Chain A
């Protein structure tokens, strides 16, 4: 059984670590392989070789990854570009799900309560004065907002807030914030709050979303 397989493709060289081989076997075979490659200069024209490592259905611990990187580093010509795997841990999967999902929330956020989430939020509840809804993603609100909305927490300015925000106390996107008292915002369900090119919070309408945030517009199916 071969523990390490070297493959070449358009992107360069790939080292595939057999998932049923033990890690000690892999390290031993990698060393043999590197030694062999280093001894045959003619077979390698490039001055420096960078490998992508694929671990198949195995997840390497950071110590193990480091062992592989250190081994490559002992050869002046070799380095490891990235180590990837076909699988991910349950924790990572949950995080990914939380980040990529649109959370549907329908509750009352009262004075002094702070709801903090990752990813986009579709908010159907009510925020009372002094309540806060904070997320790393966008906020799409169909609820009653009398408190504070914070999208793109802590500092992503490409996020936006959509909904009726004319009663809110404050709107925050990334590091920018507005006290709504000072702003005249339409009493309209389709207001978009976003950070413009001058890094200032600005307010537009939903139908201007294509200009405001083309990336989001394209993702959600704009033409």
Chain B
């Protein structure tokens, strides 16, 4: 029996979809069977980030309305043999096309076949959010060190306290720019975690490569040496119960050769 985890934030653009794709991929790399469920109906992106956009035949609304069976709608990611699947969102309708019971039924149907069902929640706290948390056992809250994202994350934690899931929500701080944090321009990790009052699951740095790789439909986790990739791999290991120390937030000083390269790059 698997575990359903909703990935949510309240605010848009903080990296819910990127995190869903990367945590899912990291878990699949660890040998787990993972289903990623996109609930951002009408503005789906998870398929694009995973490079599975072209392969969608049926979507979650088709399944909920009985136009397709669940296995027909699952899109397999060929890179991971039989371990990573996507249940795509519908694109031609909106969040109100589903209700909580339908989502709960679909998650329950997925659970026996997968170790993890990761639910990509849409931004906002309306019907789409309610649908996303309906079937979940646990929640991961994504926030960036920006104050607006923290406010929205706080709001979501509040809602989840009123409608508690089986497990307490955990926090990922995304898009950390080490030098800003070191200089005190943004809240640091401890401050943020303390402020929100939930357990910290991991931190992820900001890196241009995230955008570059997702433009190619490849989650950054596949690129082993990238610091963002390490962040997501650590998160996946912590989800599996391993105790992994947090990554250090230090501006990595460029070495001699990379500084040389920088000189030549300037025009």
Contact = CB atoms under 8 A, between A and B. Distances in A.
Interface string A103-140: 00000000111100000000000000110100000000
B96 to A, nearest CB: 15
9 contacts: A112-B43, A129-B53, A169-B53, A177-B57, A179-B54, A179-B55, A180-B54, A181-B54, A181-B55
A204 to B, nearest CB: 22
Interface string A179-206: 1110000000000000000000000000
A169 B54 CA distance: 5
A14 interface: no
B54 A112 contact: no
B164 interface: no
B53 A112 contact: no
A18 interface: no
Minimum-distance CB pairs A-B, first 8: A169-B54, A112-B91, A181-B54, A179-B55, A114-B92, A179-B54, A112-B92, A130-B91
A113 B92 contact: yes
B162 to A, nearest CB: 33
A170 B91 CA distance: 15
Contacts of A181: 54-55
A112 B55 contact: no
A112 B53 CA distance: 12
A111 B91 CA distance: 8
A158 B82 CA distance: 35
B48 to A, nearest CB: 8
B158 to A, nearest CB: 32
Contacts of A177: 57
Contacts of A169: 53-54
A32 B42 CA distance: 65
Contact of B53 (A113, A114, A130, A132): A130
A208 to B, nearest CB: 26
Interface residues of A, number: 13
Interface of A: 111-114, 129-130, 132, 169-170, 177, 179-181
B47 to A, nearest CB: 9
Contacts of A180: 54
Interface string B121-146: 00000000000000000000000000
B193 to A, nearest CB: 37
A177 to B, nearest CB: 7
A32 to B, nearest CB: 54
Given A130-B53, A179-B54, 14 more contacts: A111-B91, A112-B42, A112-B43, A112-B91, A112-B92, A113-B92, A114-B92, A130-B91, A169-B53, A170-B54, A170-B57, A177-B57, A179-B55, A181-B54
A27 to B, nearest CB: 46
A14 to B, nearest CB: 46
Interface in B27-58: 42-43, 53-55, 57
Contacts of A114: 92
Contacts of B92: 112-114, 132
